[in-house]
Chain A
Amino acid sequence: MATSLQEKQINALKRMLNFNQPPTKATNAEPQWKVLVYDRFGQDIISPLLTVKELRDFGVTLHVSLHSDRDPIPDVPAIYFVMPTDDNIQRICRDFQNQLYESYYLNFISAVSRQKLEDLANSAIQSNAVQQVAKVFDQNLNFISLENELFTLRHQARESISYYAINKGDVKDTEMEAIMDSIVDSLFSVFVTLSIVPIIRCPRGNAAEMVAEKLDKKLRENLRDARNSLFSSEGVPGQFNFQRPLLVILDRNLDLATMLHHTWTYQALGHDVLDLQLNRMEIEEVIDDGPTMNSPARKPRIKKKTYDLSSKDKIWMSQKGHPFPEVAEAVQEELNAYRQEEGEVKKLKAALGLEGEDDTAISMLSDNTARLTSAVTSLPELLEKKRQIDMHMNIATALLEQIKARKLDTYFETEEKMMSKAALNKSLMDIISDPEAGKPEDKVRLFIIALICGPPLTEAEIDQYCVALQAANCDISSIQYVRRWKSYTKLQAPSSQYAGGGISSTSMFSSLLSKGSQFVMEGVKNLVVKGHNLPTTRIVDALMELKSLPDADDFHYFDPKLLRADASSVPRNKSPFQEAYVFMVGGGNYIEFQNLIDYAKSKSAPGMQKRIVYGCSDLVNAAQFLNQLSQLGQEM
């Protein structure tokens, strides 16, 4: 049985592609050709999970977007994977009328309402296509799982559920309702796919509480209706009492600083600095067409290269959570190993003699033939490895360029020190007024973190900094918002919030240069991150281990399995949780995700495996988040 959320989602998708029958052995079954039709939600869900080749293996000959112009293919069944929106339903009805395909397998990402089903039926009758509608399914897959421990709700059209949308000043009640409903619907899908009922904890008095209440209600309704319950599969009672996971729903307002933090780990850097979207990295490469002096107006051509970072990539899986200099080192090591293997193959070729490809010579050396075959079979693997190494080389080089250009190491160091209350080696003013250091947004990020975590500043000081920031070409509307936010939220003593941090910088030349690294790390400090827990992690820790923490003591407690909904926040469960799902309402990022994963790793003993899955309404990087903040500030 598949364990992780991602695997379960993949299995569900495969079942869907197999006309909702459990997939059989792929090679033996005779192929059935089909067309896959999806909308943009379906596309976001499928694209990180199944490649085109895998789709082909399932007999999908054509994959097209629902709203594109489609030509009729009269003798193929079509599988639809769409959201039940009015727009989509109308489009499907038009497909019925135009008789595009032989038969229709309708799969809705989340539950389709009775009204829409009637609309569909109506148009099917009118266009005489009732016979062709083979199946109608609710798939309950309304989320995007990016990794085993990471999921997000939206990718395209995510502005509708962003931090900005939730914290907007003039948000209407109905809008808020709609946002919450869509979040709850997705979370519900997550737990249906997992087929477990969690225990829900959430803070009081914010958006997270609304989500938790609605989710509790929805789960409860589903459980009460025993006949149609989606959770019937969970077996023996008594088992889940111990194994039920904890769902912690948190609000973004808990911790704004992490969202703006400059980071030092590979994956998070990729997300922050480069464009990491749905496990796909996009790097802009500037191609110089030789000397372009005579035509200065001509811009250098920018070519975008995309790299897929899948879970099959070993380097990525092992290095994504490591600090950047270590990654550079590891990539270098991989490269060396690869060169060695390549050398062996070459040596073998030489050993076979000058005749090389001559058949008779090879057949003479019967022993060498076997080695040759093994070398030939290992060639694709080697090529694949080379591709991976190249990819990481390129990514790392691009990252390094950015780090050097923006002096991200200084920012990271300063911010870490600020969060951990250490003395700064360089005053804040120096960095802000330094024209060399980074983009304007980096400075704003630094200052906001100083505002939130640093020593309290007087109004006059803040104004002074604002003037300096404006002089450095910064947009300070986001700072206005943060100031107001700070005055509204009763912040607990920040010293306890970010405690336990710290970094140490070591000499960067020591190991890198000795290995003959291709990366020129000059001017970039080799920063080593020490274990250090972000506020989110600390709250999750307190809730999982049933520790008492002032922040987390007054959290709500919902148990959808209990018949009576009582709002008493007394935790009934007395044993620590082994599994937790952390959900962030209003956006999350890879820094928090990595921090939680590291925490889970440090806590799990051989016998007691701790698992934490991180989810967020949308994955935003610091620039996007800052944008939202300044939008909020402008509306003030």
Chain B
Amino acid sequence: MLARRRRNNSGSDRLQQQVLHSSLEQQWQSNSTISNPPTEVSLSRQDCLSPQRQEHLLIHPDMTCRDRSNEFLSVVKSLQSRQSNGVVANHKNRALHIRSEFTQIAKRIGKDLANTFAKLEKLTILAKRRALFDDKPVEIQELTYIIKQDINSLNEQIAQLQQLAKSQRAHYGKHQQTHSNTVVVALQSKLATMSNNFRQVLEVRTENLKHQKTRREQFSASAVTSTMPPSAYQGHMNGSVLLQDEASHIGNGEIAIDMSGSGKGNLQNQMQIIDEQDAYIQSRADTMQNIESTIVELGSIFQQLAHMVKEQEEIVGRIDHNVDDASQNIEAAHTEILKYFQSVTSNRWLMIKIFGVLMVFFIIFIVFMA
């Protein structure tokens, strides 16, 4: 996947964010392969892609349209052979013509968006998992970080794209402008929905963390251990058949030797446990804070995007709306013109009257004075 992307991008000049982005992705990939159960993650990554490919191959069962492309091509061929007597070297391959910079960037952003969406889906799966022990904080943190970076860079890229569209506005016709504007808006709204999704996922995650915490408090003995004297805990430890079993599983020989110093060992164990729990809780708190800050950041991005999208005024109209408007405008224009015409005609009457009066005076002047 990375290789494919590289190939696609190799021709074009890369933006800096792009480099940062792909290096991050590389990092993510290496992370996912190193981290504990890599199989699941990478598998799900493939899963995201494969159904689409399959669907493309699949022929839809209720196909009601008929493909006439082949017929068209055969007609073209026969016509060509008839016209040029077999000289078919006529047509240049114009499909290869170079696309504009704008289109290339837009396409790349679209692709990156799709990739980030895939990552987000993975994060959703991870974050929604509620099991107490099958939690993968490292991965989630990693993913969260990457997605956050992605969203940021995408946001910047889209802003640049907008700039580009604005700067090129002078060269193009009206339709091209609308087209590029719509592309930008569509990308923005997509990014907005994605960051919204991301925020929701993070909220779910926080909720889960809280939930886990309460459950841990309910079931784990941490509260008990800290208040009770060490002896009680010791007795508990010694008394636990399960633990003994476990211990015997770990190493048969060592226990027999260590029995003498068991008390000290247990105390150490206990201290260690408390330390560990402290560390654990600390890390949890950090994570929570992290997530919270991310949510806040995202909120701002989201708001900004929403603002931008609002600015562009997403129309939920129908395609015949403009036609109606146009006809209405024409009608209005017509009435205006009629009004003007009337005013003009009335003026004309006035002119004729004045002219008539002048003439009368003139005639009187000539008749009586001359």
Spell out A's residues near B (CB within 8 Å).
1, 8, 12, 15-16, 20-22, 24-25, 27-33, 35, 38, 43-44, 46-48, 51-53, 55-56, 59, 61-65, 70-76, 102-103, 107, 111-112, 114, 117-118, 120-122, 124-125, 128-140, 192-193, 195, 228, 230, 233, 278, 280, 304, 306, 308
Contact = CB atoms under 8 A, between A and B. Distances in A.
A594 B69 CA distance: 42
Given A28-B48, A56-B186, A12 B64 contact: yes
B168 to A, nearest CB: 12
B338 to A, nearest CB: 12
Given A117-B68, A135-B67, A138-B68, A75 B100 contact: yes
12 contacts: A8-B64, A31-B186, A38-B319, A43-B319, A51-B316, A52-B316, A52-B319, A73-B173, A132-B94, A133-B69, A136-B71, A278-B320
Contacts of B16: none
A463 B64 CA distance: 56
A138 B66 contact: yes
A53 B182 CA distance: 11
B175 A52 contact: no
A31 B100 CA distance: 17
Nearest to B83: A125
A137 B110 contact: no
A120 B67 CA distance: 16
A138 B182 contact: no
A71 B175 contact: yes
Nearest to B107: A30
B237 interface: no
A28 B176 contact: no
Interface stretch (B24-32, B72-80, B131-139, B265-273): B72-80
| Nearest 5 CB-CB pairings of A with B | A71-B173, A61-B182, A71-B175, A30-B114, A121-B75
B113 interface: yes
A28 B186 contact: no
Contacts of B107: 30
Contacts of B231: none
Contacts, number: 183
Contacts of B110: 30-32
Interface string B89-118: 011111101011001001100110110011
A28 B62 contact: no
Given A52-B316, A138-B68, A117 B179 contact: no
Contacts of B86: none
B317 interface: yes
B249 interface: no
Given A12-B64, A112-B68, A118-B75, 6 more contacts: A24-B55, A47-B320, A102-B99, A118-B79, A121-B75, A121-B76
Contacts of B316: 51-53
Interface string B314-352: 111111110110001000000000000000000000000
A233 B75 contact: no
A107 B103 CA distance: 25
B175 A228 contact: no
A624 to B, nearest CB: 18
B190 interface: yes
B95 A35 contact: no
B251 interface: no
A622 B110 CA distance: 51
A21 B69 contact: no
B64 to A, nearest CB: 5
Nearest to B118: A28
Given A20-B65, A118-B79, A136-B69, A29 B114 contact: yes
Contact of B183 (A33, A112, A133): A33
B36 interface: no
Contacts of B114: 28-30
Interface string B153-178: 00000000000000000001111101
B123 to A, nearest CB: 14
B61 interface: yes
Given A29-B52, A131-B94, A22 B315 contact: no
A47 B319 contact: yes
B56 interface: yes
B257 interface: no
Contacts of B55: 22, 24
Nearest to B172: A71
**Which of A15, A22, A33 counts the most B-chain CB atoms under 10 A from its CB?**
A33
B91 A136 contact: no
B80 A136 contact: no
B317 to A, nearest CB: 5
B58 interface: yes
A228 B66 contact: yes
Given A22-B55, A24-B55, A52-B319, A30 B314 contact: no
Contact of B64 (A114, A125, A193, A304): A193
